[in-house]
Amino acid sequence: MKNAILLVFALAIPTLYSCESKAQSPAAIKPEGAHVEVLDFHTTHRCKTCLTIENLTKELLSESYAGEMEAGLLSFRLVNADDEANEALVQKYLAFGTTLIVNTVSDGQENHVDLTNFAFMNAGNEAKFKAGMKEQLDVALQKL
């Protein structure tokens, strides 16, 4: 019986005092308020290309960044530029019609990249669109 108790302690003690650190979730290690936001501005009347840009962006985010989105590191916002309630955002990003923005907020500073031209030029090539967007998002997330 003594040997069984000693064996249990011998196996349990290294686990209790292990030097291994537990992995932290991305949200636990990000600075307070730091995040990347993808803003997809559109007009009320949307063309096929505008809808494709939205769909490809959403697909990429769900396929490649679900963890970051769940942790609050990354978000997607669809904004109707024609809606008067969004006027301040439209002015802030100079959004006219369809505009695709990746905005990085870190250390109280905002830095955005306008990907509108890229999006329109590559909306017909899913692989190229997603690869380019992924590259931009990875760079933005590294800035957090």
**Which CATH number is 84's domain given?**
3.40.30.10
Give residue 120's pLDDT. 97
72: left (phi over 0), alpha (psi -120 to 50) or beta: left
**Where residue 63 falls among pLDDT bands split at 50, 70, 90?**
very high
99 found inside a domain: yes
pTM of this structure = 0.77
136 found inside a domain: yes
Please state the separation of Cα 47 from the chain's center in Å. 25
122 found inside a domain: yes
4 found inside a domain: no
Domain limits for position 64: 29-142
